[in-house]
Copies of this chain bind each other. A is one copy, B any other.
Amino acid sequence: MKKSLFTIMAAMAFCLGANAQEIKEDFKPSELNQPGQEYPMVNSQGYARFRINAPGAAQVKVSLGLGGQGGTTLKHMGDGIWEGTTAGPMDEGFHYYHVSIDGGIFNDPGTNNYYGSCRWESGIEIPAHDADFYAEKNVPHGNVQQVLFWSESTKQLRRAFVYTPAGYGDAKNQKKKYPVLYLQHGWGEDETAWSNQGHENLIMDNMIAAGEIDPFIIVNTYGMCNEIKFGHMNDFDAKDFETVLCDELIPYIDANFRTKSDKWNRAMAGLSMGGFTTTLVTLRRTEMFGYYGLLSGGSYTPEAIKDPKQVKHIFVSCGSKENPDGVIKSAEALNAAGVKATSFVSEGTAHEFLTWRRALKAMAPLLFK
């Protein structure tokens, strides 16, 4: 009896796909957990295990799982504790998720929240084999600061985050000026994404400490793209955002930080919708940015670049599970047209933050040369 049940389960596991394998019981708390929280956990194969306390619930599900399987259904283990493990290993890197309790959507109380999908979502980190480049190390660290600037065009106090590299505040550096990268989040996210989910500060700190790049400043602000409804992408011309960015924020940053303020020391890049926004703004404001970057955010056609001398370097990237051929070919077409371009493909990742962390690392050494 037991054996035949095992045979059925093995057959079921086989049906779940090629990823089915024996699960190693070496689960550890996800590094994004709230202080003192054991769950969610992750094992060395990339499986995620969730545990939720909901004594009177009838059904508990987690939105994270394998594509097409609608997430992970948790099982009541007794004493109000629900537990479940993903049906297979997840891609390395950061994932958003939420919990469904009897049909209502909540966050996992075990983990920290991150702004994505136009709401603060739960986050989990599947340790990447190359996670060292954004690890917290005992190297000199830069700061990330919240800036509130008045926007006359939108009649609002608006927010930006500014990464200043280590040594920026040091008394002996007070004459030193820095180039600036304006780096945009994707749809559903906001100006907190690149430091919280993206670890832009740690990536920069580690590259600067290793002598791989010269220090520069990064600025993140809200791209106003969350106001678009799906199916109405073409209505978004980013003109309101262009005014905020180019006529309000950039002058504010140049007045309040020690920046090099010419176009050859200013870059714009963005991920996903932020890449789309970058395309729109850089092509209209050719006098303002010398370097462009699109991270899983499309590409430029050679025809769109009116004068190859208007831009020094274009960076285009995506994950290998996205559209790597499109990205590679578009860089080739740009280079063939006399516009210097570099493509980058993140191995084994999709439209997620590990792809973009790696892209920032690949793009940074190409800027301000």
Contacts and interface: CB of A to CB of B under 8 A. Distances in A.
Interface stretch (A7-15, A137-145, A272-280, A295-303): A137-145
A170 interface: yes
Interface string A218-240: 00000000100000000000000
Q: Which 3 A-B pairs have the closest CB atoms?
A: A145-B145, A56-B102, A54-B104
A106 B103 contact: no
A58 interface: yes
Interface string A170-181: 110010000000
A3 to B, nearest CB: 37
A113 B150 CA distance: 25
B103 A54 contact: yes
Interface of A: 34-36, 52-59, 80, 99, 101-107, 109, 112-113, 118-120, 136-138, 141, 143-150, 157, 162, 164, 169-171, 174, 195, 201, 226, 255-258
A109 B109 contact: no
Contacts of A195: 146
Contacts of A149: 141
A54 B35 CA distance: 27
A59 B56 contact: yes
* Copy total for this chain: 2
A170 B102 contact: no
B56 A58 contact: yes
A161 to B, nearest CB: 9
Contact of A104 (B55, B169, B201): B55
Contact of A113 (B102, B120, B144, B226): B120
Given A35-B118, A255-B170, A256-B170, A146 B148 contact: no
A256 B54 contact: no
A35 B226 contact: yes
22 contacts: A34-B120, A35-B226, A36-B118, A54-B102, A55-B103, A57-B102, A57-B104, A58-B58, A80-B104, A99-B106, A101-B106, A109-B119, A113-B120, A138-B157, A141-B147, A143-B148, A144-B145, A145-B164, A146-B201, A169-B256, A169-B257, A170-B255
A225 to B, nearest CB: 13
Nearest to A138: B150
Contacts of A162: 143
A149 B141 CA distance: 7
B34 A104 contact: no
A52 B80 CA distance: 21
Contacts of A257: 169
Nearest to A152: B138
Given A141-B148, A157-B136, A226-B35, A53 B120 contact: no
A118 B35 CA distance: 7
Contact of A143 (B58, B145, B255): B145
Given A55-B103, A56-B103, A143-B148, 14 more contacts: A52-B104, A54-B103, A54-B104, A55-B104, A58-B58, A58-B102, A106-B107, A112-B120, A136-B157, A141-B150, A143-B145, A143-B147, A169-B256, A169-B257
B101 A101 contact: yes
Nearest to A119: B34
